[in-house]
Structure 1
């Protein structure tokens, strides 16, 4: 909600100048929800839907092609949010990004004057394809994630 309110304040002047860049911070969880974290995943999926609609609206409704929109989808970042289950994730082979790594890729996108989606690390981009997979295959992915979540919560 706060992102929407902030965009609402700045977008009119960006459209008028046909210049600006709106960055939405989401997560790889935008594409594949993690069991036990439905609240987090749903807010990130909502951020993705907002970004996609905003991008089309700026271009087609307002005719401001030089107002860029970027959404950033980092995988696990070493922040206090993951502190409680960081050990389990590390033992599962998951490596953590630093906030600086995410910031570097985000700033590079802005300086390149390109809009779009940034997945950090790039190898996590496969997660964006899951929604296009057949439902039975999506269920397998969610079952796998659910089994890992159950193991994590039992420790």
Structure 2
């Protein structure tokens, strides 16, 4: 299967999916501002408030308004926000952002985008980032190994300063059946996808706690909510990040008295990056509409928005991933229908590992990673 032409412009009709529909509906049918005009319109036409044509839209508007109000209050509570005052704007020029796995994919785009904002960016990766931005510093580091993270973190703090933001983005996927996984595969998956988060937190979090400010971004996955064929190690490694992020939040709030350190977790679906470039997803229009793949720029925008807002967030992308936490609560036959519709048990059948290949795995048959 050829790597998706995800990096090429798509026809306009390919961009029409449920995410676009939800965005439009959120500004119209599910907007308190928009829906409040419906009963007002009928009142101006001479109808009484007790008339169904006025009463029903009024109740609907109240329900919609209550939903957004409760969501807003929850966000304020989580981030110690004020009902009347916004936090001071974030001074990007004073930020030092560490991005793991910043040499490719989402990490590379995030690093370069932040650098354009005059942010000091530190990239940790086993290979160097290709960039023309002078304010990106690269440190070679295998983040799955504590000894390397510890040594590099000391150099970063000494040479650049105490990081104010940490984006744990590095990831790897093996795409093998459980009994076909080598010990080296499992060690690498959990080392990069899970343990690296603990190592970078051990290295950089103490400085943030001392300053009572900072932001930790954890890159998880929708696969952390669901298991599928040839994804056991990957799904398990991403599931671990869910509870790690929760525990981190409560430790910051209850133990270190540092609620000002924000924690954002990102749970994306399929991102159009080399990591999953050889996956085979269903091609039928219905699947593409309900479960579209997302471009790296979409993920980067969401991360930067959370950083800029100085808010702890849970980011689900695209829209269907919002329902992934309930998969374990629905009847088994419905769960199997979802599994079949997604093609999850067949999508990795011809998968070839393109990124983070170890020396014992050899080179790909084709240099460009296509087959």
Q: TM-score, normalised by structure 1?
A: 0.85
What is residue 96 of structure 1 aligned with on the other side? 293
How far did 1:138 drift?
4.6
Q: Distance in 1 between matches of 2:211 and 2:333?
A: 46
Q: Which runs of 5+ in 2 are unaligned?
A: 1-194, 351-371
TM-align CA RMSD: 2.2
Q: Distance in 2 between matches of 1:22 and 1:142?
A: 35
- Contact 1:130–1:138 at 8 Å: present in 2 too? no
Q: Distance in 1 between matches of 2:269 and 2:325?
A: 12
Q: Which runs of 5+ in 1 are unaligned?
A: none
What is residue 151 of structure 2 aligned with on the other side? none
Q: Distance in 1 between matches of 2:237 and 2:305?
A: 25
Using a 3 Å threshold, how does the CA distance of structure 1 residues 82 and 65 change in structure 2: closer, same or farther? same
Q: TM-score, normalised by structure 2?
A: 0.38
What is residue 73 of structure 1 aligned with on the other side? 267
Q: Distance in 2 between matches of 1:150 and 1:37?
A: 9
SS at match of 1:70: strand
How far did 1:139 drift?
5.9
What is residue 121 of structure 2 aligned with on the other side? none
SS at match of 1:85: coil
SS at match of 1:95: coil
More deviation, 45-54/115-124: 115-124
For 2:224, which of 12, 18, 30 is the aligned residue?
A: 30
Q: Give the aligned length.
A: 150
Higher helix share: 1
SS at match of 1:89: coil
Using a 3 Å threshold, how does the CA distance of structure 1 residues 149 and 120 change in structure 2: closer, same or farther? closer
- Contact 1:36–1:149 at 8 Å: present in 2 too? no
For 1:43, which of 200, 216, 237 is the aligned residue?
A: 237
Q: Distance in 1 between matches of 2:335 and 2:252?
A: 35
Q: Distance in 1 between matches of 2:263 and 2:255?
A: 15
Q: Distance in 2 between matches of 1:138 and 1:114?
A: 36
Larger of the two Rg values belongs to structure: 2
- Contact 1:34–1:146 at 8 Å: present in 2 too? no
2:338 is equivalent to residue 141 of structure 1: no
- Contact 2:229–2:346 at 8 Å: present in 1 too? no
What is residue 116 of structure 1 aligned with on the other side? 313
For 2:326, which of 124, 129, 144 is the aligned residue?
A: 129
How far did 1:129 drift?
2.4
